[in-house]
Structure formats: C-alpha cells, structure tokens
C-alpha cells in the first residue's frame, strides 16, 4: 500500500520558473527521501531529510519537512527542460527495517 500522497499529480511550467511538489504521509518516520525518475527507468536519489530536520538544500533543490503535519515539500528553483521527470517522495517508517514507501509521484514537465 502507498504511504503517501503527492500533490499535484502533474505539473507543467516554463523553463526558469520554480516547481513545488508536496507529499503527505501517514505514519511516523525515520526519514523522508525524494527521488527522480526519467521515462520509467531507474530512480535517482535527490535528497534525504531526517525526522529531526526541518529544511535541507542541495543545489537548486530545497526540501522541507513538517512532522506535525506529516508533510514534505520539494522546491526546484530556476527549472530547466532537463528537470522534466517524475518525482517521488518515499518514507522510511520509524522502527522499520528500512523499506521505502513511495507515493504515486508528481509528473513535472518543463517547457523550453
């Protein structure tokens, strides 16, 4: 079963604009991770944020985590056509062996 829900399901923006994707989850977590997937191929790890962290940055990516609301957001600034992909949030539940529980994903299209 899916842990979380992502919003929006699809997003279309122009190059240079910012893209924001949101993720909600149901159980307490050890950490939350964001992944990118191009055209149904393997997933690329973007960023990991731990349950005691509130914000994390990596290049043009900014991730926030609100454990009280069980939600996270991914912001991609100054988007590029190459950012076109599906983005997934995945949680590692507390006390779990480490399985990733994925949401349904957000499909991002960046138009040149």
Partner 1 sequence: ETGVTQSPTHLIKTRGQQVTLRCSSQSGHNTVSWYQQALGQGPQFIFQYYREEENGRGNFPPRFSGLQFPNYSSELNVNALELDDSALYLCASSVAGPQETQYFGPGTRLLVL
Whole-angstrom Cα distance, residue 17 to residue 79? 6
Query: Cα dist. 105→80, 95, 97, 112 in Å?
Result: 19, 24, 23, 22
**Tokens read off for 43:** 């997933």
The binder of partner 1 chosen from 21, 25, 32, 35 (CB under 8 A): 35
- Of 40 and 112, CB closest to partner 1: 40
Stretch touching partner 1 by CB under 8 A, among 12-20, 38-46, 53-61, 73-81: 38-46
- Of 2 and 14, CB closest to partner 1: 2
Tell me if 65 contacts partner 1 by CB under 8 A: no
The binder of partner 1 chosen from 11, 13, 48, 75 (CB under 8 A): 48
**Tokens read off for 27:** 């159980």
Residues 66-105 close enough to bind partner 1 by CB under 8 A = 88, 90, 92, 96-105
Rg over alpha carbons for the chain, rounded to the nearest Å, is 13
Q: Tell me which residue has tokens 């939350």.
A: 32
Query: Cα dist. 93→16, 59, 61, 90, 103 in Å?
Result: 35, 27, 23, 10, 13
Tell me if 57 contacts partner 1 by CB under 8 A: no
> Which residues bind to partner 1, rule: CB under 8 A?
1-2, 30-31, 33, 35, 40-45, 48, 88, 90, 92, 96-105
């Amino acid at each position: 079963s899916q842990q979380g829900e992502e919003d929006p399901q699809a997003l279309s923006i122009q190059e240079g604009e910012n893209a924001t994707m949101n993720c909600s989850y149901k159980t307490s977590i050890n950490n939350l991770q964001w992944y990118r997937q191009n055209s149904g191929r393997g997933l690329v790890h973007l960023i990991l944020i731990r349950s005691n962290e509130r914000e994390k940055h990596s290049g043009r990516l900014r991730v926030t985590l609100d454990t009280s609301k069980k939600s996270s957001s991914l912001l991609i600034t100054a988007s590029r056509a190459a950012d076109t992909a599906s983005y997934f949030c995945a949680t590692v539940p507390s006390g779990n062996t480490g399985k990733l529980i994925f949401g349904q994903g957000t499909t991002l299209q960046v138009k040149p």
